Structures are given as structure tokens and as C-alpha cells.
Amino acid sequence: MGALPIYVGEMKILVVGSGGREHALVETLRRSSREPEILCAPGNAGIAQAARVKPISADTLPGVQAIVELGKAERVDLVVIGPEAPLVLGLANALESAGIKVFGPRKEAARLEGSKAFTKEFLARHSIPTAAFHVFEEVAAARAHVEHVPLPVVLKADGLAAGKGVIVARTRTEALAAVETILVEKRFGEAGSRLVVEEFLPGSELSLLIVTDGESFVALETAQDYKPVFDGDQGPNTGGMGCYSPYYRLDDPVIQLALERIVRPTLKGLSKDGIQFRGLLYVGLMLTARGPEVLEFNVRFGDPETQVILSRLQSDLVELFERTIEGRLQGYKPVWDARHSVCVVATSGGYPDRHKTGLEIQGLHEAAATNVRIFHGATTLAPDGRVLTAGGRVLGVTALGETREEARDQAYSAMKKLHFEGIHYRRDIGSRGRYTARGQ
């Protein structure tokens, strides 16, 4: 007699983070046939409806240690790390050392997001297409450079700045002001001790998310993110104001070119440099007349890309994570919902600058509809049960539809029913891009 199949359905998963991305991860993991019990630290008001939340943030070294202790105490089978900060601090390393399985790269690999200068040098070393660049620590040298570079020009704080540390300067005055903001005023803190000044790339942006076990990789369905805060891509950059998926189909020549010219050489470059990458590599691309070029790497799922991409995933996310960790990705093809998804983000008025928090959110029940998911970002539950705003990106209203237009209409109808003082969202999410009809 062969071994009996052991199916106990008692898997425990800890998701680290508190945004819309983590809410989408929690909801997708809940759909797994493994029926996992899900914990989330620290979570938010929406996640608290779907998982057991623990008030621990992994954004500091003591926080990282506290997550490891939680993982041990709860005997979790798998930790999924949502945000970049714990990855850069070495949470994956610490969990591995404690014998806990983790989805997310070690800190050596997380430098691809933790330092833009490191990434630009990596790209240059491996001849991977990216904008021409210079790195500065000295203010005078940066000013002198910016005095004569062609405009527009892009100025980036080297370190982590939650998507906000990039300034696209269209005039000389703006470029000089950006040097002051990043290097002198240190608006983005220590992230701005180094400044990357790079060539402006005209084109269309594409978020290509790759899951890799260090050898093989799987490309997830594509998405397009809207970074600037106002309609028509006006105003400062944010973490992401909305997204839709699919953008290009995976078999489109544009994607094949991006895999050939960028993804494969990147994975080869990492292994040549002795850096093992296991987890999700987010490749931020500009599709230029010269072909696809790298804008940035992130070492984790995108937000709000995750909300639109995972809404379309039909395969078991636990299986994808386990295959990655165990080095079994080769030949694996996730199954996708052919429908389109659109996510519109509602932010606090004033974001990405100063904004109020603690405001009551109304309409959450009224906005609920078939094919619409309201992923919570910066929300918190008041003791009296009211849901309050707690930061910049508050809600990600995500809808599925046969066409992108249908998904878009559904997301905006739901959004109209939501309210908090100062609520802001873009009105043009999903209204540009190439594919609109189902499966096209």
C-alpha cells in the first residue's frame, strides 16, 4: 500500500505589511485549496476582516526580530513579505536562519530596490538597456551637471522613498530645485544622501512582474500603473494612483523583447554576481522607440499592480510561492482569468504631501458589488467599529469586466459611493493603453 495522502488543511501563513497589496495577497491566499489560516502583521481594517492581525510593523530592525519571534511562536509554515523595507532590512535572511519558509528575496538581492545607484551600476555592468545616468553625493557637482543637461531630466533619491523620491524636471529651475530638495533639504531623508540624475525616457510605462526561483522564472500578466497624482499624469509622483491589467498580452512581441533584452540578462547578471534572487522581481519598464528600457526594479509585488493582477489569477497562489521557494518553477504556467481588471486608488487629500488622517470612511457597504473588491490600504478600525483613514493611499477599488471599459465603469460606480473628507482619485484610470476587448 502506498503512503496515504496527508491533507490536513492546516497551513498557517503570515503576510507582512499593511497596504492594498497585502489585502489582495491575503484575499488571494484565502482562495487556496490548502485552506490556510492567515495572519497579517500589522494589517489594516480590511485585512482584519479576512485574517488574524498582529500589531507588529517590520519597518525597523526590532520589528524584523519581532516578526521572526511571531513566526516561531505561531509555528507558521510560510511568511510572505509584502513591502520593500523589511526585505532591505534582511527579514528574509532572518526568517531563513530561524528555519521558516519565506517568499521574498534576501537583503543582498533587495539592494536592487534599496539603492538606485547600485541598480544603475548593475544594469550598466551587464549591458541591460536603461537611461544614461550620473550619481552625485556633492551638491556643487550635481548643480553644475544639472546646469547643462538636456531637459526634461529625471532626479532620483538613491534610497527607499515609497515611490515619491523621483522628480521629473521640465525646466532648469525645476531641475536645480530638485537637487536642493533631494540632496540639501533631504526631503526623502537618508535616501537622498546620493542623487541619481538620469536621461528622460519618453514612452509608455509597463509593469512586468516576474516570479523567480533563481533559475527559472514565470512572468505574471502585465499591468500599467499611473504614478502621478492628477489626471493626465500631472503633479508629483506617488506610489501608484491606479492600474489596469492586462496591458500587453504575454505573447506580444513587446513582452518577448522585454524578456530577451531585460529579464533574462538581469537574472543571468544576478547569478554572475553571486546574488540569489528568490521571490518577485518587479521590472518597471519604459517602452521607448529604442525598445524597452529599465526604469527601476522593485523586489516585491507592486501596489496597486497586485490588486489588478491577483484579481485575475485563477491558479493557487500558495503553489506559486511554494514552487518558488523550493526551486520548482520550471515549466509552471499560472492560469489567468481572461477578463480585464481596473483598480482606482482613493487617496487622502494632499497626498503625496501632507494630509489628514483619522477621517471616517463612509459607503463601504453601499459600494460593495459583484465583481468589485475594495482593497484597504491605509485604514484603521476605531474601537467603535468605524473605519478611519490612516495614511495616503486609503482604498483600492478593483473591478473585473469583460472589457476594460466595463471594469472601469464598475470601479468608478463603486468609487462614487465612497466618501471621506478630502477624498481624491484620478478620473482617467484605464482610459489609455492598447487592449480593450476580452482576451485580445
Contact by Cβ (8 Å): 189, 201: no
Q: What's the closest the beta carbon of residue 380 comes to ligand GLY, in angstroms?
A: 22
Which of 158, 225, 293, 406 is close enough to bind ligand GLY by CB under 6 A?
225
Which of 13, 25, 168, 267 is close enough to bind ligand AMP by CB under 6 A?
168
- The answer to whether 154 contacts ligand AMP (rule: CB under 6 A) is yes
The binder of 154, among ligand AMP, ligand GLY, none, by C-beta within 5 to 8 A per type, is ligand AMP
In angstroms, the CA 4 to CA 29 distance is 26
Q: Which stretch binds ligand AMP (CB under 6 A): 40-48, 101-109, 196-204, 302-310?
A: 196-204
Element (H, E) at 255: helix 253-258
Count Cβ atoms below 10 Å from residue 274 Cβ, excluding itself. 7
Question: Within 13 Å, how many C-alpha atoms sit on residue 397's CB side?
Answer: 30
Contact by Cβ (8 Å): 76, 40: no
Contact by Cβ (8 Å): 427, 346: no
Binding to ligand AMP in span 288-307, by CB under 6 A:
295-296
Q: What residue ranges in 74-203 does DSSP mark as E strands?
A: 78-81, 102-103, 133-136, 153-157, 166-169, 195-199
Report the relative pairing of strands 340-347 and 393-401 from DSSP bridges: antiparallel
In angstroms, the CA 209 to CA 133 distance is 24
The binder of 158, among ligand GLY, ligand AMP, none, by C-beta within 5 to 8 A per type, is none
Beta carbon nearer to ligand AMP, 227 or 340: 227
Give the residue nearest to ligand AMP (CB).
296
- The answer to whether 223 contacts ligand AMP (rule: CB under 6 A) is no
Question: Within 13 Å, how many C-alpha atoms sit on residue 227's CB side?
Answer: 17
- The answer to whether 174 contacts ligand AMP (rule: CB under 6 A) is no
Q: What's the closest the beta carbon of residue 161 comes to ligand GLY, in angstroms?
A: 11
CA nearest neighbour of 387 among 47, 57, 54, 50: 47
Mask for 303-342, x = binds ligand GLY (CB under 6 A)? x-x-------------------------------------
DSSP summary character for residue 224: E
Using the structure block, give the residue that is written with the C-alpha cell 476582516.
Answer: 49
Mask for 246-275, x = binds ligand AMP (CB under 6 A)? ------------------------------
CA dihedral (434, 437, 438, 440) positive or negative? negative
- The answer to whether 227 contacts ligand AMP (rule: CB under 6 A) is yes
Which of 38, 110, 117, 201 is close enough to bind ligand AMP by CB under 6 A?
201
Element (H, E) at 307: helix 305-310
- For 139, the grid coordinates are 551638491
Contact by Cβ (8 Å): 80, 66: no
- The answer to whether 113 contacts ligand AMP (rule: CB under 6 A) is no
Binding to ligand GLY in span 286-305, by CB under 6 A:
298, 302-303, 305
The binder of 305, among ligand AMP, ligand GLY, none, by C-beta within 5 to 8 A per type, is ligand GLY
Binding to ligand AMP in span 129-148, by CB under 6 A:
131
The amino acid that residue 57 corresponds to is S
Beta carbon nearer to ligand AMP, 166 or 208: 166
Beta carbon nearer to ligand GLY, 28 or 32: 28
The binder of 298, among ligand GLY, ligand AMP, none, by C-beta within 5 to 8 A per type, is ligand GLY
Q: What residue ranges in 177-309 does DSSP mark as E strands?
A: 195-199, 204-212, 217-219, 224-225, 228-230, 234-237, 242-245, 279-288, 291-298
Q: What's the closest the beta carbon of residue 248 comes to ligand GLY, in angstroms?
A: 17
In angstroms, the CA 125 to CA 272 distance is 11
DSSP summary character for residue 280: E
Give the residue nearest to ligand GLY (CB).
240
Beta carbon nearer to ligand GLY, 57 or 307: 307
In angstroms, the CA 433 to CA 220 distance is 18
DSSP three-state, residue 289: coil
Beta carbon nearer to ligand GLY, 343 or 390: 343
Q: What's the closest the beta carbon of residue 238 comes to ligand AMP, in angstroms?
A: 9
Which of 71, 82, 86, 240 is close enough to bind ligand GLY by CB under 6 A?
240
Q: Which residues bind ligand AMP (CB under 6 A)?
A: 131, 154, 156, 163, 166, 168, 198-201, 205, 227, 237, 284, 286, 295-296
Q: Which residues bind ligand GLY (CB under 6 A)?
A: 163, 225, 239-240, 298, 302-303, 305
